[in-house]
Amino acid sequence: MSETHGDGDGTGASGSGADDGGRDIPEPVRRGLARLVDASVIERIGIALASTILALAIGLVIVAAAGYDAVLFIDNMVYGALGTYNVAELFGTQNRIAKTLRPTVTFILTGIAVAVAFRAGVFNIGVQGQFVVGGFAASITIVSIAGTFPSTATGAAIVIVLATLAAIAAGGLYAMLPGILKAYAGANEIITTIMLNFIASGVVFYLIDSFFRPDGTFFVRTDRFPGHVQFPQLFFEEASFSLVGLAIALATAAIVFLIMERTRFGYDLVTSGYQEEAATYSGVDAKRTIVATMTFSGMIAGLAGAVYVVMVLSYYSNPASIPTFGFDAIAVSLLAGNNPLGVIPAGLLFGGLESGGNYVNQSSDVPRQLIDGVIGLVVLFVAAPELFRMAGKRMGLGGEGR
- Tell me which of 71, 235, 274, 384 binds another protein, using CB under 8 A: 274
Q: Is 188 in the site for another protein (CB under 8 A)?
A: no
The residue among 30 and 228 lying less far from another protein, judged by its C-beta, is: 30
Taking the C-alpha atoms of residue 290 and residue 285, their distance in angstroms, rounded to an integer, is 9
- Tell me which of 210, 211, 264, 365 binds another protein, using CB under 8 A: 264
Q: Is 3 in the site for another protein (CB under 8 A)?
A: yes
DSSP at 399: S
Report angle CA 317, 313, 152 to the nearest 5 degrees.
Answer: 125
DSSP at 125: -
CB distance 124 to 179 below 8 Å = no
* 218 to 257: interface string for another protein, x by CB under 8 A: ----------------------------------------
Q: Where are the beta strands (DSSP E) in 26-163?
A: none
Q: Is 41 in the site for another protein (CB under 8 A)?
A: no
- Reduce the secondary structure of 21-33 to three states and give it as a string: HCCCCCHHHHHHH
Taking the C-alpha atoms of residue 256 and residue 134, their distance in angstroms, rounded to an integer, is 19
The residue among 103 and 337 lying less far from another protein, judged by its C-beta, is: 337
What values do phi and psi take at 165, rounded to 5? -60, -40
The residue among 198 and 281 lying less far from another protein, judged by its C-beta, is: 281
Chain positions 277 to 296 lying near another protein, rule: CB under 8 A, are 277-278, 280-285
CB-count burial class (<10 Å; 0-12, 13-18, 19+) for 180:
middle
The residue among 17 and 226 lying less far from another protein, judged by its C-beta, is: 17
Q: Is 15 in the site for another protein (CB under 8 A)?
A: yes
SS3 call for 96:
helix
The residue length of the chain stands at 402
First vs last Cα of the chain: how many Å apart? 28
The residue among 29 and 153 lying less far from another protein, judged by its C-beta, is: 29
Q: Which stretch binds another protein (CB under 8 A): 19-27, 91-99, 229-237, 320-328?
A: 19-27
Q: Which stretch binds another protein (CB under 8 A): 6-14, 118-126, 240-248, 358-366?
A: 6-14
Taking the C-alpha atoms of residue 69 and residue 10, their distance in angstroms, rounded to an integer, is 66
* 365 to 394: interface string for another protein, x by CB under 8 A: ----------------------------x-
- Total residues contacting another protein by CB under 8 A comes to 43
Q: Which spans of this chain sit near another protein (rule: CB under 8 A)? A: 1-15, 17, 19, 23-24, 261-265, 267-268, 271, 274-275, 277-278, 280-285, 393, 396, 399-402
